[in-house]
């Protein structure tokens, strides 16, 4: 297990490093002194985003679990509830009470309607047609757990599409981009051309709200950007 210089892990209740014998190692860090960090998600975008914030090594674990939910709930409640279930399933699978487990679930909502991953080109076309010229909302639930402690929060970002021509929709579908993505688009690819405006956390639209995750991880003792020893 190796953390980049940006990332130091200390117990959430630590008062000083010396009290806990957990001073940051100078060289390659010892596995013993670090909890495992597990990303319970298969999304390549989420892996990339963890890496972006300085968590270079982590394990991937894919929890099972159904995605059923009570449709009367709000978008934030829905993603939170699914994410919490995934988190519980991942915690059981991991079987390590010291591991920090990150789970996330992202959904796209347009006028109260949920847009999942398109199963055909025609469905992708319908989704892109629905998004065209409108503002929709991307909600991600994030669950962080360690042993019996589990926290879940949700983030919503508004995304505005410019009006699309049918030619543009089909050319975009032809790239294959829509098929593993809720709402039939990926903001980090050429669909950027369609999106003149987001309001909220951009990375949330990619599947993981990084500022929120950083705040949650800090509560679990994973301090990103706290490399005091290398200051000045």
The residues that touch a copy of itself, with contacts defined as CB under 8 A, are 5-6, 49, 52-54, 121, 162, 167-168, 170-172, 174-175, 187-190, 192-203, 209-212, 214, 224-228, 230-232
**Residue 220 and residue 186 in contact, taking contact as beta carbons nearer than 8 Å:** no
CA 47 from centre of chain: 9
Instruction: Identify which of 37, 1, 4, 10 has the alpha carbon closest to the alpha carbon of residue 223.
Output: 10
Q: Which is nearer to a copy of itself, 61 or 144 (CB)?
A: 144
Q: Which of 70, 96, 105, 227 is catalytic?
A: 105
Shortest separation between residue 5's beta carbon and a copy of itself, angstroms: 7
Q: Which is nearer to a copy of itself, 96 or 177 (CB)?
A: 177
CA–CA separation, 61 and 63 (whole Å): 6
Residue 180 sits at φ, ψ, to 5 deg, of -110, 25
Active site includes 201? no
Q: Which is nearer to a copy of itself, 18 or 72 (CB)?
A: 18
Shortest separation between residue 31's beta carbon and a copy of itself, angstroms: 23
Shortest separation between residue 116's beta carbon and a copy of itself, angstroms: 23
Residues ≥6 apart with Cβ < 8 Å to 143? 80, 83, 84, 86, 87, 101, 102, 103, 104, 150, 151, 152
Residues ≥6 apart with Cβ < 8 Å to 32? none
Shortest separation between residue 215's beta carbon and a copy of itself, angstroms: 8
Q: Which is nearer to a copy of itself, 44 or 190 (CB)?
A: 190
Which residues are known catalytic residues? 105
């Amino acid at each position: 297990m190796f953390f980049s210089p940006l990332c130091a892990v200390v117990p959430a209740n630590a008062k000083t490093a010396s009290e806990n014998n957990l001073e940051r190692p100078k060289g390659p860090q010892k596995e013993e002194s670090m909890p495992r960090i597990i990303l319970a998600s298969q999304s390549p975008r989420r892996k990339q985003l963890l890496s972006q914030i300085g968590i270079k090594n982590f394990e991937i674990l894919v929890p099972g679990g159904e995605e059923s939910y009570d449709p009367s709930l709000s978008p934030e409640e829905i993603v939170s509830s699914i994410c919490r279930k995934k988190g519980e399933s991942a915690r059981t699978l991991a079987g390590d009470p010291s591991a920090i487990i990150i789970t996330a679930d992202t959904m796209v909502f347009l006028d109260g309607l949920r847009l999942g991953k398109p199963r055909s080109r025609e469905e992708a076309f319908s989704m892109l047609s629905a998004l065209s010229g409108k503002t929709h909302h991307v909600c991600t639930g994030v669950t962080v757990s360690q042993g019996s402690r589990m926290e879940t929060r949700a983030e919503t970002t508004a995304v505005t599409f410019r009006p699309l021509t049918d030619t543009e929709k089909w050319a975009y579908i032809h790239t294959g981009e829509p098929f593993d993505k809720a709402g039939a688009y990926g903001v980090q690819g050429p669909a950027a051309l369609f999106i003149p405006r987001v309001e909220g956390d951009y990375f949330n639209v990619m599947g993981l709200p990084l500022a929120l995750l950083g705040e949650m991880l800090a509560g679990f003792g994973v301090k990103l950007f706290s490399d005091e020893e290398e200051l000045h």
